[in-house]
Amino acid sequence: MQTRTLGTGNYALEVSALGLGCMGMSFGYGPPRDKREMIALLHAALERGVTFFDTAEAYGPFTNEALLGEALAAVREKVVIATKFGFRIDAQARRQGGLDSRPAHIREVAEASLRRLKCETIDLFYQHRVDPDVPIEEVAGAVGELIRAGKVRHFGLSEAGVSTLRRAHAVQPVTALQSEYSLWWREPEQEVLPALEALGIGFVPFSPLGRGFLTGKIDEHTAFDATDFRNTVPRFAIEARKANKALVDVLEAIAAPRGLTAAQLALAWLLAKKPWIVPIPGTTRLARLEENIAAAGVALSPAEAAQIEAAAARIPVQGERYSAEMSRMVDR
């Protein structure tokens, strides 16, 4: 697989053109998957050229980092692992309890993540969500101290607005911003992408396949597990799914003559947008992993990319992308 670069200069980070979002192996999309099967999947991803793996202490909590630590410790020099801080987690109840990006807490999380990941340095350390109670300058300064101490290599932000991004970057250069971006959520094009290009910051889209919807395998009849967070997402309400199927139909019609799936077309479109965009589709299945990886070899011309986005733009997507509670954690 080809590689791409997030960030610039001394803060540049080379990764595979597609990364692997690992959250769903342990959290968010139903019960945790079998550990041995997920370790095998992580190894399969590396064998097929994926070197960029995304996790967080909040996924589980804690269990997803431990999974990656066990699976990748022996090949640590071959991979780039991104993890995140920023939540207050009740260790006994194993659940999130609000935001916490106080510098002391950031240092605690870094040490705990290093132990679970079985490594000496975190490649990319994201603030998971912007904490309105802690100035972003303090957050950037704390991560900068970890970088100088050799415990972290690169600083990242997740779901941060442009103003926050600029303020953080002025204190400690930001290598990457991670936020949702796909053919059914294109808001980053308005302000975020231009700011990233101006600042030399890479972009890591999570949910590049619309939390699985753009694969075409989800419709109004799909039943989610009781622990699947999509049950709380307005965009996945039954009526919204019925309406949003029109977008998948359009993508499938464009993809089929090219011998592609809708998912591959959606990923290829993202890769064609900018050379510093690195999507991180998640999966727990080898067949889906291979399907996604194949998209990295699809080269769309500017005209083809424009055709895809113009066709998608004609289909208004129904439903908010987050519940009201989760929306309050998104920085603007």
Q: Secondary structure of the chain in the HEC alphabet?
A: CCEEEECCHHHCEEEECCCEECHHHCCCECCCCCHHHHHHHHHHHHHCCCCEEECCCCCCCCHHHHHHHHHHHHHHHHCEEEEEECEEEECCCCEEEEECCCHHHHHHHHHHHHHHHCCCCEEEEEECCCCCCCCHHHHHHHHHHHHHCCCEEEEEEECCCHHHHHHHHHHCCEEEEEEECECCECHHHCCHHHHHHHHCCEEEEECCCCCCHHHCCCCCCCCCCCCEHHHHCHHHCHHHHHHHHHHHHHHHHHHHHHCCCHHHHHHHHHHHHCCCECCCCECCCHHHHHHHHHHCCCCCCHHHHHHHHHHHHCCCCCCCCCCHHHHCCCCC
Q: How far, in whole angstroms, is CA 221 from its chain's centroid?
A: 27
Question: Six-digit token pair at 26?
Answer: 């342990």
Inter-helix orientation angle 302-313/262-273, to 10°: 120
- Cross-strand bridge partners of residue 157: 127, 177
Cβ pair 66, 116 in contact under 8 A: yes
Known catalytic residues are 59
Q: How many other CB atoms are there within 10 angstroms of residue 308's CB atom? A: 21
